[in-house]
Each structure stands twice: as C-alpha cells, then as structure tokens.
Structure 1
Amino acid sequence: MLTTRTALFAALSVAAALTLSSCASTSPAADSSPSASSATTAFGTADVTFAQMMIPHHEQAVEMSDDLLAKDGIEQDVVDLAADIKAAQEPEIAQLQAWLTEWDAEEDAMSGMDHSAGSDGMMSAEDMTMLQDASGTEASILFLQQMTLHHEGAVAMAQLEINDGDNPDAIALATAIVETQTAEIAVMAELLETL
C-alpha cells in the first residue's frame, strides 16, 4: 500500500506543480499586449468567492496537519499524508492570495461566515480541540475522519469554481484540487481500514 500511495502522491505533486507553474506563466507580465493582459486577468464573482472561501479552508487543513505532525506515536503513513497535505496547500494559499490582490478583492470577506453547518467541510472549534487533545491511534483516526470531511467540502467548492468560474487559472487550480483531494480521500479511506 505504501508504494501505491507514494506513487499516487508523486503523480499528484507533479500535476499540482504543473498547474501552479502554468498559473504563474500566464501572468499579464508575460505578454504586455492589452488583449493578452485582459484575457489573463479576467475574473468574475465566482472566482473571487472561490479564492476567499478556499484560503481559510486550506489554512485550517494546514493547521490540522500541523497539529497531527506535532504528535508522537502516529502511524507513519498518516504522518506522511499530513505532510503532503500541508506541502500542497501552502503554495495554493499563496496563489489564491495573489489573485485576490490582483483582483483588488479583500481576503477576509468570508471571515464572518458561520461554518457550523459543516457543508463546506470546515471543522468547528470543538472539532479542532478534539484533534489537538487526541493522541496515538485515536489522533490518527480522528485526523483521517475530519480531513475526509474537510476534503469533501473543498472538492464541492472547487467544483463550483469549475462550473461557474471565469478565470482560466483559477479553474485550473480548482480542477487540480478536485483531482488531488479526491485521490487523498481514497487514500484516507484505505488508511482508516488499517487502524
């Protein structure tokens, strides 16, 4: 299982890197003609909402991963997964923040939203405390269960961007999120069966 998981994450890492590098290479500075500039910076309400919602979502996933990585006695495959999630989502946060700056949109416009319903996969303060307080196998199981719900919420948000977005780079990132996090959900289901 470890070999399959390692190969899967290697392939997903390459896909994510290619997606992010293609986003960077299509910046207006790459082609200074007015038509090219307007084509690469085109965006709509769905793109802004996607970035505003995905930033705190990714930040929470990084926080959850950090909480798990700070613990001793965690199954190595779960540690590796948490490290992979953190490594993938931190550069995506930076890209989303850069887009909001470019689009002259506020990053924290979604901060007042109530995530308690859980439809977006966000963990409540209680959920986060439970993960922080857990140890050993209990922490591994809780992390995998919570991160599965978290990823399902991210996939749903990314799918909205794919369906409704205008910015091709944001749509490409959303597509990469759907692919990567769907694959990670499958890995987490396998890991849960082993604990």
Structure 2
Amino acid sequence: MRAFTNPTPRKLALAGVIAAAALLLSACGSDTDADAAGGTKPGQSTASAAPSAGAFNDADVAFAQAMIPHHQQALEMAKLADGRAEDADIKKIVVDIEKAQDPEIQKMKSWLSGWGKPESAGHGGHDMAGMMSEQDMKDLAAAKGKAFDKKFAELMIAHHDGAVQMAQAEQKDGRNEAAKQLADDVVRTQTAEIDQLRKILDRL
C-alpha cells in the first residue's frame, strides 16, 4: 500500500495555471454572448452609440421631416410673445416651448443626417396638422396684451394638437427607438400644455 504524499509545489502551480485559464475563457465567453445578444459589456456605456443608430422606417423619417417645421413655427409664435404677451402663465409656457423644442429640432436634424435623408420632405408646411397660415401669424403679430394672450392660447392649442396627432402616428407606426421616445415626450408635454392653455383661456 502506497503512502499518501503531499502534492509538489510544481503540481500546485500547474493546477493554479489551469484554473486561471478556465476563468479567463469563461469571462471571454460571457462577453461574446453579450455582444451576440446585442448587449453591452460591463463598464460599456450605451450612451456612446448614436441615438439614431438603430433601425428606422419611413414613418420615422416622415415624423422627423414634418415635426422640424412644425416645431420651428411654434418657436416663431413664441418669439412673437416678446413685448406682446401680458399674462404670466402665457409667458411661462413660451419659455417652456423654447426650452423643449429647439433641442428637439437639433435632434431630429441629426437623425435625418445619420439616416441619409433630407431635412425637408419637399412639401409646403401649412398643410400639416395644426400648422398656422400666414394670415394666422400676421393676426397674432398684430395683437397685444390680453388680445395677444387669448389669440396665442387659441392658436397654440390647435398647433399642439397637430403635433400630438403626428407624435401618436409615430408611436403607432415608427420603428426607431429614439424617435418613438421623442414622440412619447411630445404627447406628454404638449398634452399638458394644451390643458394649461385651456385653463388660461377660461379666465381671460
């Protein structure tokens, strides 16, 4: 019967190398699986990816191309409030519109550039839902004080309602996650502003 002998230092070292190699292979395998599944590796930020890098469809393109001029007109309406608006709540909504919609325009322009699509769909903007006519804009510019506040609220309710309709179409038909998220934001914020504007109208 052989007596039990302790493992030699060389055998212990060899076992340690094998165990370390197994751990390394396991770690590499898990990273590869994450990549294959479209996930991210530990420590990798999803923010580094371009927001428009995902798949997109015609609805996403149409949404961005229509919402850019729609937002631009809202900003033109907001600028008219300077020196004309009187109501404090109207002035606050004007600031909120400027803060939200200018950055959204820049986002949508960057998406279209990334998708290789033009910023304009090549049609006039006044036929889109909620867009003001040239006469509407002239009438708003001619008003002042309480008359401006009332006109602004009435026109912006219609304008926001058009934007909400377009955003809801994107929610339903769009494919790009960033565009659909923006559509969610438009529906949420502009629906809330419509409610505020209606309350303002009720007391004007």
> TM-score higher than 0.5 here?
yes
Which consecutive unaligned segments of at least 5 residues does structure 2 have?
1-45
SS in 2 for 1:120: coil
Q: Hey, what does 1:181 align to over in structure 2? A: 190
**Residue in structure 2 matched with residue 58 of structure 1 by the alignment:** 71
Using the aligned pairs only, state the percent identity. 43
Structure ID, larger Rg: 2
- 1:106-131 CA-to-partner distances (Å, cap 9, x unmatched) read 00224x23625xx6100000000000
Per the TM alignment, residue 72 of structure 1 is displaced from its structure 2 partner at its CA by: 4.2
* Deviation beyond 4 Å, 4+ runs, structure 1: none
Residue 126 of structure 1 is matched in structure 2 by: 135
**Deviations along 1:24-60, whole A, 9 cap, x unmatched?**
x555369xxxxxxxx9421100000000000000000
Note if contact 1:26-1:40 (Cα within 8 Å) is conserved in structure 2. Answer: no
Unaligned runs of 5+ in 1: 1-24, 31-38
Letter in 2 for 1:178: V
1:43-91 alpha-carbon deviations (Å, 9 max, x no partner): 10000000000000000000000011x2246111111111111111010
Q: What amino acid sits opposite 1:184 in the alignment? A: E
Instruction: Give the structure, 1 or 2, with the largest relative contact order (CA under 8 Å, sep 6 or more).
Output: 1
Give the TM-score normalised by the residue count of structure 1.
0.77
SS at match of 2:80: helix
Quick one: which amino acid aligns to residue 165 of structure 2? Answer: A
Give the alignment's TM-score, normalised by structure 2: 0.73
The structure in which a higher percent of residues are helix is: 1
RMSD of the TM alignment (CA)?
A: 1.8
